[in-house]
Amino acid sequence: MNKKQKEKKTIQDKVIENLVSILKTALVLLIIISAVVEASRVPTGSMEDTILGGDFLLINKYLYGPATPRYIPLTGIELPYYRFPSFREPRKNDIIVFKFPGNRDQIEFEELTHYVKRCVAGPGDTLEIIDKVVFVNGEEFPIPEHVNYDNKLLPKGLADPYIFPKGSGWNSDNYGPIVIPKKGDIINLSKENIGRWDTFINRENKASVVRFVNNEIFINNKKSNQYTIQDDYYFAMGDNRDNSLDSRYWGFVPRENITGTPIIIYWSWDSAIPFSQFFDLLGSVRLDRIAKLIN
């Protein structure tokens, strides 16, 4: 190998070394940034008119405790997960972003899906809905500025078979009273109420651990008549009350699932227009919503 070839190889090595260093730095920065802020698109109208379908949001993940990403960005490689202490806990009336816990009778939802809803009640609160009016601990919950209702009212006693919890006899307009679970609370279990709590307990254990055999309840193969709650929970509802699948239908939101709160709309267009109609989609851009703060 002559001198020129050696010099050429040295230059190539330095270029490759610098590129690798830049990529490593960029990846570390991307992981750090994604632990504090995140971009998210709203696909549905369950929060209208506070947030519209097709709004693109920046999410503050620092407020409720930044967490390390579960995956390396742009890859499917799983990472060790850790949540740092929170600046504060979610409060009533906060708009929260959370990992969907699953439909009412599911132990865990198969896909990593995030929802945006309003927190209406927290751990230990008692929630009740009477003729569409929400009460928390006996006091009327503040009506959000852009809340949506329709004129139809489901009367008390008209049971919705899809409502949470299973067999409650409630509907979305007349609901509860129900106590939001708090870490350390003890549930007394019986053959009469195990149908309401089995999925909840299975979710906490991330496996099907509840069995009901010969009128006896078993949890993790141990006979049980009590269960101690392992996490704090929240009750979330959409501002578009009559067109929102929320905690009334699929249950409580675990604290560990809450990832952040939206702070600003950075882009907005009509999500009902398919991307294949790009120019129509581009024409639907809502300039008046871009840079709008969320509250």
Residue 20 lies inside a defined structural domain of this protein: no
Q: How many domains does the chain have?
A: 2
* Spatial distance between the Cα atoms of 129 and 164, rounded to a whole number of angstroms: 13
Judgement on whether residues 85 and 216 belong to the same structural domain of the protein:
no
Using alpha carbons, select from 281, 290, 270, 253 the residue that is nearest to residue 116.
Answer: 253
Q: Do 211 and 276 fall within a single domain?
A: no
One domain, residues 173 and 197: no
- The SS3 of residue 199 is helix
**108 shares its domain with 209:** no
**Together in a domain, 83 and 179:** yes
pLDDT of residue 237: 97
Query: pTM for the whole thing?
Result: 0.83
Residue 158 falls inside a structural domain: yes
Q: Is residue 242 part of a domain?
A: yes
CATH of residue 53: 2.10.109.10
- pLDDT at 108 (0 to 100): 84
For residue 20, CA distances in Å to 32, 34, 127, 192, 201 come to 18, 21, 55, 62, 47
- 46 and 162 within one domain: yes
Task: Evaluate whether residue 18 is within a structural domain.
Answer: no
Q: What range does the domain containing 84 cover?
A: 37-71+79-185+229-293
Q: For each successive 10 residues of the chain (295 residues), what is the average pLDDT?
A: 57 72 59 59 81 89 80 64 84 95 88 90 98 97 86 93 95 97 96 93 94 93 95 96 94 94 91 88 91 87
- Predicted local distance difference test score (pLDDT) of residue 80: 73
Structure tokens at 278: 């790009």
Confidence (pLDDT) at 2? 57
Same structural domain for residues 156 and 272? yes
- Given a contact cutoff of 8 angstroms between Cβ atoms, the answer to whether 170 and 160 are in contact is yes
27 lies in some domain: no
**Burial of 191 (C-beta count, 10 Å sphere; 0-12/13-18/19+):** exposed
Helix (H, G, I), strand (E, B) or coil at 243: helix
